[in-house]
Structure 1
Amino acid sequence: MSIPAEALQKLMQEIESRANFSQQQLQIVKAQMAGKQRDIRLLQLTSKELETLPKGTSVYEGVGKMFVMEAMPDVQKRIESEEKGLQGDIKDLEKKFTYLETTLQKSQEHINRILNPQAAS
């Protein structure tokens, strides 16, 4: 069975554009994951520093251009909830990364199959 040259070229362009899009999205997802991991590390370091402070120490949190005194347990809870949220975001990004990797791999396989039909048999 032979596919007309026009249809084959159109199919190749579509597969290549899908592969390029997947590659770009993979880079974006990698950067987002790295950013989230940096944020988690910063939260962990902040939490560790807060644990070293004596119990009665006043803790101030930046809000816009001012600082507001917060209770240390409240700050710790906020840090923990932010960290859990970021970890959830990373899990979602890992799923997206896996999907994009699979899409890219399948696109490359299809391109190879179109360019070299004897190898597919």
Structure 2
Amino acid sequence: MAIPNEKLQQLLQEIASKAAFAEQQLGIVRAQMAAKKRESRMLLLSNTEMDALPGGTPVYSGVGKMFVATTIPDIKTQHAKEGEDCKKELANLDKKLHYLETTYKNSNEHMEAILKRGG
């Protein structure tokens, strides 16, 4: 059974828009992943630098527009928590990336199949 041209064109437009949306979201997710990786590296670098400081060195934590004096162990604890949050978010972004890549690939395959069969 042949599909009418109007329906075929509508179907191709829907698949093409889905592929374009997936491609756009892929770029966004990749940028978010790069930002999280950069944030994770910054936390690691900060911890490495704090390890090199003598024990009584005053350190400050940014709170809004001001800085508050705190201890090195408190900052390390905060960095560890932020590092775990980064890992969780990276895992979620990785899943989203995989889903979007699959969606994009499948959309392109479906368009090619329709064009080969219908054209």
Q: TM-score range by the shorter chain?
A: over 0.9
Could you tell me how far apart the structure 2 residues matched to 1:86 and 1:79 are? Answer: 10
Instruction: Give the match's secondary structure for 2:57.
Output: coil
**1:105 aligned to 2:105?**
yes
Residue 56 of structure 1 and its aligned partner are, at CA, apart by 1.6
How many corresponding residue pairs? 118
Partner of 2:3: 3
Letter in 1 for 2:11: L
Superposition map of 1:3-42 within 5 A? 3-42=3-42
CA RMSD of aligned residues (A): 1.0
Moved over 2 A (4+): none
Give the distance between the partners of 2:111 and 2:66, measured in 1 at CA.
57
Give the Cα–Cα distance (whole angstroms) in 1 for the partners of residues 88 and 5 of structure 2: 47
Q: Which runs of 5+ in 2 are unaligned?
A: none
The farther-off stretch of 51-60 and 26-35 is: 51-60
1:2, distance to aligned residue in structure 2 (A): 0.3
TM-score by length of 1: 0.94
For 1:21-65, what per-residue CA distance to the aligned partner results, in whole angstroms no more than 9, with x for missing partners?
Answer: 000000000000000001011111000000101112111112222
Amino acid across the alignment from 2:65: K
Residue 91 of structure 2 aligns with which residue?
A: 91
Corresponding residue of 2:60: 60
Q: Which has the higher contact order (CA 8 A, sep 6+)?
A: 2
Alignment partner of 1:67: what SS? strand
Distance 2:63 2:95 in 1: 34
Percent identity between matched residues is 48
Distance between the aligned counterparts of 1:65 and 1:115, measured in 2? 58
Structure 2 CA distance for aligned equivalents of residues 65 and 14 of structure 1: 48
The one-letter code of the counterpart of 2:60 is Y
